[in-house]
Amino acid sequence: MEIINFAEHKSLVSQFMMELRNVDIQKDKMRFRQNLVRIGEIMAYEISKRLNYEEHDTVTPLGTSQCDVIADRVVLATILRAGVPFHQGFLNFFDDAQNAFVSAYRKYKPHSDMFDIHIEYIACPRIDEKTVIISDPMLATGSSMELAYQALLTKGKPSHVHVAAVIASQQAIDFVKMHFPEDKTTVWVGAIDPALNPHSYIVPGLGDAGDLAYGDKE
């Protein structure tokens, strides 16, 4: 399984990652959402290089030009709610893609840091032999991503899966390697952080991406 870590090479992603992490810049929710969109757009462009293309004759005002267009059928999937702006970045580039949404949340056990992941909702087209891009800003334990993937599999078997995250823990990367098909999965991540705290939040991470994008929840 290939893991593409953008932090290994200096690029605009490095700038956007700094702004996402910075406790003062985070106070601007619009800017926080926009940086998620931007990183989604950059990842979408890089993923586009891995897709299959076919030649297409395009009529111009002065003649005909032979162009390469994407041959793969792309489905963009995300986990609500933090995934929405990140997802939008991919949709800005794959504007003809089909879309899927999965509602997953942590249900904590009383007086404990332990929790289960619950799936409440899925809206998804058939994904048989399609390229699926699953995006979620924070890949903490990997459990939500794996359950979302299993939910998507009820709609068919994709030809390839691209897992996209802004920040992942090393634990989550190891988890994805164990639970996703090795030869049909590629992981794209803005940075890999070393640890999780007792609440299973990524450290140093950036906090709760959903709250920072949309406000606190009860």
User: Which domains occur in the chain, in start order?
Assistant: 2-49+71-197+201-205 (3.40.50.2020)
Q: For position 111, what pLDDT does the model report? A: 60
- Confidence band for 151, pLDDT divided at 50, 70 and 90: very high
Q: For position 191, what pLDDT does the model report? A: 98
Q: Express as a percent the part of the chain with pLDDT over 90.
A: 85
Q: How far apart are CA 6 and CA 96, in angstroms?
A: 26
- Confidence band for 108, pLDDT divided at 50, 70 and 90: low
Decide which of 98 and 217 is more confident.
Answer: 98
The whole-chain average pLDDT of the chain stands at 93
- Confidence band for 107, pLDDT divided at 50, 70 and 90: low
- What is the H or E stretch that residue 163 is in? strand 160-169
DSSP 62-82: TEEEEEEEE-S-EEEEEEETT
The tokens of 156 are what?
Answer: 């068919």
- Answer whether residue 139 shows pLDDT above 90: yes
Mean local confidence (pLDDT), 35-52: 98
Burial of 40 (0-12, 13-18, 19+ CB in 10 A): buried
